[in-house]
Structure 1
């Protein structure tokens, strides 16, 4: 079931009090001494965040940068339940990125290397388009480093953008993405 919310007023994207939404995050890092450790620590920070419950991380994956230069990324995905609205969850994740040294600068190169990137990929089947947030993530179905962890967590039949993950993965078969371990 897909719910659509399209608005320019961020505050109207609220979660109903007392209810939990299923959300999917994508995490990646390719700067620093140990990107895998960064992701392990970021998953723990997400787990500790107020309003986040029942977190389940995927394995770690290694992938080449897409449409950008730089070292290979270490990636994972996390499925969680949250009482937070999409924008409040985004705010929490951006605060965690900042705590891990991420500097957001609109003048930087798109897809530039980073210490930590946390993307809100999917939120309870909602479609949102605002200046700050588009859900589902507009490129998640085009990235093997997103699709492989999603398949691990939710199965090959999980539908995003009208097709199962397995179908999108076939379209991304040329992208290098290798599983590294069993859990983030």
Structure 2
């Protein structure tokens, strides 16, 4: 990698198709991005859809170091989603793959295409639990300690399945 690399967190999710295979393929594609290294992957979590219908999701969070800018990384994430058949027929539709840029170098951004940190990450158990697993001390602009939001997502159905994604050792639940 050239220049300085930012610590980045990406949320992964899928609820259509072979979920584990899709997330593993997406992790391999993240690791292959230019100027990017995959550092760690959380445990996998099964979660019920939030504000949507459809089958349960398989979710995880990946920690990357990248020299890509936030918008360059967003473009790369959306290209990976498209390669896996992602369609957007309506808001919160079931999906073959969802890659959300949660945080990029701890910066705050409010652009038409991208808000950082992700504006709903503290409202979703399927993001909070794996993110806290990977980075329990992470501080993000405009947010309190991440674990302080866990009580607010208690009613969301989520189950930790353990380190089933990728060949890297995940942190057990």
Map 1:159-178 → 2, pairs under 5 A: 159-160=139-140, 161-178=142-159
Deviations 1:57-81 (A, max 9, x none): 1111000000011000000000110
Question: Among residues 39, 58, 63, which one is paired with 2:47 in the alignment?
Answer: 63
Note closer, same or farther for the CA distance 1:182–1:56 as it changes in structure 2 (3 Å cut). Answer: same
Map 1:90-129 → 2, pairs under 5 A: 90-104=74-88, 108-129=89-110
> Per the alignment, in what secondary structure is the counterpart of residue 121 of structure 1?
strand
> Per the alignment, in what secondary structure is the counterpart of residue 150 of structure 1?
helix
In structure 1, the partner of 2:171 is: none
What 5-or-longer segments of structure 2 have no aligned partner? 166-173
Structure 1 position 150 matched with structure 2 position 150: no
In structure 1, the partner of 2:72 is: 88
TM-score normalised to the size of structure 2?
Answer: 0.90
Note closer, same or farther for the CA distance 1:158–1:183 as it changes in structure 2 (3 Å cut). Answer: farther
> Per the alignment, in what secondary structure is the counterpart of residue 108 of structure 2?
strand
Runs of 4+ in 1 over 2 A off after TM superposition: 157-162
In structure 1, the partner of 2:16 is: 31
Shift of 1:183: 4.3
Shift of 1:159: 2.7
RMSD value, Cα = 1.3
What 5-or-longer segments of structure 1 have no aligned partner? 1-16
Quick check: which has more Rg, 1 or 2? Answer: 1
